[in-house]
Amino acid sequence: MVEKLSMEDRSKALQRLSGWTDRNGRDAIEKSFKFKDFNEAFGFMQRIALMAEKMDHHPEWFNVYNRVDITLSTHDADGVSERDIRLAEFINSLIDNKS
């Protein structure tokens, strides 16, 4: 079973995860991304989907045209776990590597 992160570990993780914040009213983290157009946003989502499938850990997300909003929480842990942090790091690497 996956364990929920302690508040201390979660705070440390958020400090190194650029742009990710606690989701208000929920034990989850979230971040919004904006792209040039729908094609770029969808390609971003496809790369995440491939990694999420490998990790067996799937994001909650919302997409409209060039915007992608992502929420991460581990349902088995009833909150944020190391799985969420690893997926958030991967997601950020897609943006970091794009530049």
pLDDT digits (tens, 9 = 90+) for 8-19: 999 999 999 999
Question: The whole model's pTM is what?
Answer: 0.92
pLDDT digits (tens, 9 = 90+) for 43-81: 999 999 999 999 999 999 999 999 999 999 999 898 999
Please state the CATH superfamily assignment of the domain spanning residues 7-96 in this structure: Transcriptional coactivator/pterin dehydratase (3.30.1360.20)
The answer to whether 2 and 83 have CB atoms below 8 angstroms apart is: yes
Task: List, in sequence order, the alpha helices (H) in the chain.
Answer: 7-16, 38-55, 82-96
Cα separation, 94 vs 75, whole angstroms: 24
Cα separation, 11 vs 57, whole angstroms: 21
For residue 44, give the nearest of 92, 86, 83 by alpha carbon. 92
Q: Is the pLDDT reported for residue 98 higher than 90? A: no
